[in-house]
Amino acid sequence: MSAQVSLKARRGNAYPIPPTMKAWVLGDPEQLSLVDKPVPEPGSAEVLVRIDAIAVCATDIEVIKHGVPAMIDGGLPFNKGFTPGHEYMGTVVKLGPTVDEFAVGDRVAVEIHAGCGRCPRCREGMYTSCLNYGYRAKGHRANGFSTDGGFAEYAINNVNTMVHIPDTISDAEATLIVTAGTAMYGLDVMGGVIAGEPVVVVGPGPIGLMGVGVAKALGAQPVILTGTRDSRLEMGKKLGADHVVNVSREDPVAAVMRLTAGKGVNYVLECSGAPNALNEAGRMVTRGGRICLAAFPHEPVMVDLAHLVRNNIYVFGIRGEGKSATHRAAALIAQKRFDAKLIHTHTFPLAEVPTAIRYARDRVDGAIKVVVQNRVT
């Protein structure tokens, strides 16, 4: 077959696409129903992705229960035929007009946010902080938040939200690229990690564990992981943590000072959302140190601002996997710089999404990252 014929075949419809698909939709809070929905059509700069696997994220659980941070046309996502889920990967099966960045048959991992492309934040590359968030009429897309997500058989994605993945990355592992991308974004906004500089990662959840892997891959030394569960801390060691601290047995600030000979660290990636996490992080960093908040408490908390100001400590908050961090995280995973698939603990089919969510929410059987697999690999 000539290269020209081969390319034409890839551009063609090599995958039969049905008129309808199975998809989970959100009714009232915590009420999911499996229904038939029309398979969407890709527009300009969009492709149709056959969803092969999707991971359950803690934010999905928040959306299903509380609605926020999802927002559809300025309102909560309940009873709008909305399909949640955002950490998915799949196969490109149809191209929209003008698309030549991808081909039918490409395996891709996806980002959540496309943004509107027209507001000042999007033009700066901060599309996860789009000023038109939730308003589809102004072009904003954030799959699983303001537009339909991945607990379905197909989804539409903008070409800017996808990254090619090699066959050496399994479907389940590819769903973790977004999680690693969030950790990468957190390190990016703090100025990037320079090889040899110390980092603390607080909270060994999925983002924290991926934060350990990314920080170590970028050369941080030492990488210290703190948390309350020994099994998660041991997994952190496998992902590259030089030291782990169980905060139920040792004060985390004292432990960090012990491990750094009283100097503290330059960066703290806070992934726990614990009420006192920012205050503790502020005492782990050196003067002029930097803290990134990748999680948040559910209630307002007291913060010692005077300590942060007196010590010239920078505090950053991030949303999602901005500034193409997913692409850089995908490169690290493809290069086997850390073993992302270690945190994949359970797998369910699409028909059992509520069970998958329950396992993730309640940490049933030690669940860390629960994956819904649409395609047997």
Write out pLDDT tens, residues 107-137.
Answer: 999 999 999 999 999 999 999 999 999 898 9
Q: What percent of the chain stands above pLDDT 90?
A: 89
Strands 20-26 and 243-246 come out as unpaired
Proportion of the chain in helix, strand, coil states, percent, rounded to 5: 30, 25, 45
Tell me whether the omega of the peptide bond preceding residue 222 falls within 30 degrees of 0, making it cis: yes
| Cα–Cα–Cα angle for 228, 267, 247, rounded to 5 degrees | 15
Residues 341, 342, 348, 350: what is their CA dihedral angle, to the nearest 10 degrees?
A: -30
How many angstroms separate the Cα of 357 from the Cα of each of 175, 214, 278, 353, 363?
15, 26, 29, 6, 10
371: which 2 tokens?
Answer: 């994956």
Residues 150/88, Cβ–Cβ less than 8 Å: yes
Residue 377 confidence (pLDDT): 62
Write out pLDDT tens, residues 38-92.
Answer: 999 999 999 999 999 999 999 999 999 999 999 998 899 999 999 999 999 999 9
Q: How many Å apart are CA 323 and CA 301, to the nearest integer?
A: 29
| Burial group, residue 275, by CB count within 10 angstroms (0-12, 13-18, 19+) | middle
Q: Residue 338's beta-bridge partner residues?
A: none
Residue 5 confidence (pLDDT): 34
Residues 200/278, Cβ–Cβ less than 8 Å: no
pTM, whole model, 2 decimals?
0.91
**Does the pLDDT at position 308 exceed 80?**
yes
Identify the residue with better confidence: 375 or 62. 62
pLDDT, mean of residues 210-217? 97
